[in-house]
Amino acid sequence: MGGIGGLGGVSGVGGIMTPQLSVQLDGAILWVAADQIEGVADGGVVTTWSDLSGDGNDMVAAEDDTRPTYHLNQMNSLPVVRFEGSEDRMVATLATERAQPNSTYAVIAKLSDSAGNEQMISGANEANSNSHVFYHRASSNAFYYYSGAEISGLAEDTDDHVFAAVWNGASSILETDGNVHSADAGANALHKIVFGSSQTPDEYADCEIAEFLVFDVAHTQAQFDIISAYLAAKWGITLA
């Protein structure tokens, strides 16, 4: 498992890295945060979004026309990475496929356009089939979670949200801003992570992403709450 990569500039709840938060973040195998991006000007393209976990699972946009853009002073006065909904996407491939249970957390700054089905964050298993997804479905005007079973979340909007999940079959914990949606999300494994589209790719998302973490462990509810509180405090989101 990775660690926090020697990162000293990440603040915890109340603006400090608490011991409780440090212990939880130390189990990350992928961790990207827009406020830790260096060397990119406001409005510039992001080619590599460096993994802070220490595991080297960088998010990469290999081709010029797929690269999202970096924007300062957006979410709680912090920067975000913007995906424009037609070609932008970033991909990270884990060294080995990770079976459930595992945990993922994401801050989506904004779904800017809800005209179609949009996969803000998706995952694929080793066979390259969609396995883990946070997405918007146009026909029902709502956000969904998927990992072999589809779970409806909250109604669509363009607000800032903390999407979080402990993927653990029938024992899954699925939340948006602290609101629990379901206890069963399926049992798919995770190998590839994609921002801005499905793994195909299609269903591109017009959205902004601020921070994202993956853990190769199923967090308890208490651990879950510590990380969700950190994300909400940092990015200015109110939890239920």
pLDDT of residue 7: 37
Name the pTM for this structure.
Answer: 0.90
Tokens for 190, please give them.
């995770």
pLDDT of residue 206: 92
Does domain 13-235 fall under CATH 2.60.40.730? My reply is no
Positions in the chain short of pLDDT 50: 1-16
pLDDT of residue 169: 87
In whole angstroms, give the CA distance from residue 68 to residue 219. 31
The span from the first CA to the last CA of the chain, in angstroms, equals 31
pLDDT of residue 153: 77
pLDDT of residue 19: 63
pLDDT of residue 110: 83
DSSP the chain: ----TT--S---GGGS--HHHHHHHTTEEEEEEGGG--S--TT-B-SEE--SSSS---EE--SGGG--EEEEEEETTEEEEEEESSS--EEEEEEEEEPSSEEEEEEEEEE---SS-EEEEEEE-TT--EEEEEEEETTTTEEEEESSSEEEEEEP-SS-EEEEEEE-GGG-EEEETTEEEES------EEEEEESS-SSS-S--EEEEEEEEEESS---HHHHHHHHHHHHHHHT----
pLDDT of residue 114: 66
pLDDT of residue 174: 86
In whole angstroms, give the CA distance from residue 226 to residue 173. 14
pLDDT of residue 157: 86
pLDDT of residue 231: 92
Tokens for 10, please give them.
């990440």
In whole angstroms, give the CA distance from residue 198 to residue 132. 10
List the chain domain ranges: 13-235
pLDDT of residue 18: 65
In whole angstroms, give the CA distance from residue 74 to residue 189. 33
pLDDT of residue 223: 86
pLDDT of residue 100: 92
